[in-house]
Structure 1
């Protein structure tokens, strides 16, 4: 499975539109993005790998456990974007940055997507403020 940048952007939009500082996997279902798919699991694991999300108490994990035979069991846990997650969300929420990353790096890995998006946003903000 490949990382889908549009799917990631949709996930970020759902998280940012949530009315409280924490969200749960059910919130994705409520927004029309099922958490019970391989695509959701794949992308959430990348969010976790990059340190973009964590449980509200600071523990790792987003509520998925699997048995030896691959049976998935979901727990509804309060999750939050980390500071790094908010940096990434802010970056991809800026249309200029998102359009550039989406068109110039369509197959970028998650770590590259995070690093480049945040870097572009910082450069964009400096330029916008006349600091560069």
Structure 2
């Protein structure tokens, strides 16, 4: 499965628009991103791999367990964006950053997407503030 940048952006939008500091997988479901799909599982694992999300109590994982037969079981756990997750969310919420990354790096891996988006946002901010 390939990384879908637009799907990632939709996930970030759901998280950032949530009224409380924590969210659950059901919030994605309510926003039209059903959590019981391979696409959702794949992208949540990427968020977890990059340290963008964590359980609110700091325990590892995001509520997915799989049996030996591959059957997926979801637990509804309070999750939160980490500081790194907020940096990424802020970066991809900037229209200039998002359009540039989507255009110039359409097949970027998740680590590149995070690093480049945050770096580009920081460069735009420094330039805007005259700190170059």
TM-score, normalised to structure 2, is 0.99
Distance between the aligned counterparts of 2:100 and 2:81, measured in 1?
A: 23
**How well do the aligned residues superpose, as a CA RMSD in angstroms?**
0.4
Q: Tell me how far 1:121 sits from its aligned partner.
A: 0.3
Per the alignment, residue 55 of structure 1 pairs with 55
Aligned length: 132
- How many Å separate the matches in 1 of 2:93 and 2:131? 21
Q: What are the within-5 Å matches in structure 2 for residues 95-114 of structure 1?
A: 95-114=95-114
Specify every segment of 5 or more residues in structure 2 that has no aligned partner in the other structure, as ranges: none
Show the counterpart of 1:80: 80
For 1:59 and 1:80, the matched residues in 2 are separated by 11
**Unaligned runs of at least 5 residues, structure 1:** none
Q: Whole-Å Cα distance in 2 between the matches of residues 59 and 12 of structure 1?
A: 21
> TM-score, structure 1 length as denominator?
0.99
Tell me the residue number matched to 1:11: 11
In 2, distance between residues paired with 1:43 and 1:33?
11
**4+ runs deviating over 2 angstroms:** none
